[in-house]
Amino acid sequence: MEVPIAHVIFFIGVTVASYLILSAVYPQVVSLANAFVIQKSKIAERIRTVFSIEEVMNTPQGLMVYLKNIGYESMKADANSYDVFIDGVLFNVTNAVLERDENNNGVFDPGDVLRLTVNVTLVPGEVHRIKVVYSNGASDETIFTS
């Protein structure tokens, strides 16, 4: 049984084209799969990172915001890891101090209380909305009277 030379050339061409397509697409598929794994890990971390605003106090030194770690993940206890929005406006966190550090390790562990000092002057007696956002996107908000 003879196979025409055109069929052989066509078969070789299809094989080479298939290889080129596969070698171009496969790395992208692997990269996309890795991106999904990384995103899943970040979402899982955010879900395990939970804190609550326990108290907000207007003092002459600034606004004192007390956070309690009620999640499963430890968080950083430094001012640069938190953003504070008051009535939708971003304010500078000047200091972060662990008020209760049950493990004495300097980390905001579950059960610990962290005090943030926010550089803002508020008129006493006004009602405000405060939102605190951690660096991984976890957040809590509440309404308070200054």
Per-residue b or e along 55-89, where b marks 16 or more CB atoms closer than 10 Å to that residue's CB:
ebebeeebbbbbbbbebebbbbbebebbebbbeee
Query: Average pLDDT by consecutive 10-residue portion of the chain (146 residues)?
Result: 76 86 84 78 72 92 93 88 94 90 84 93 90 91 92
- In sequence order, the β-bridge partners of residue 52 are 68
Q: What is the pTM of this model?
A: 0.70
Segments in the chain forming alpha helices (H):
5-48
Phi, psi for residue 100 in degrees, rounded to 5 = -135, 115
For residue 3, what pLDDT is reported? 67
Count the Cβ atoms, other than its own, within 10 Å of residue 14.
10
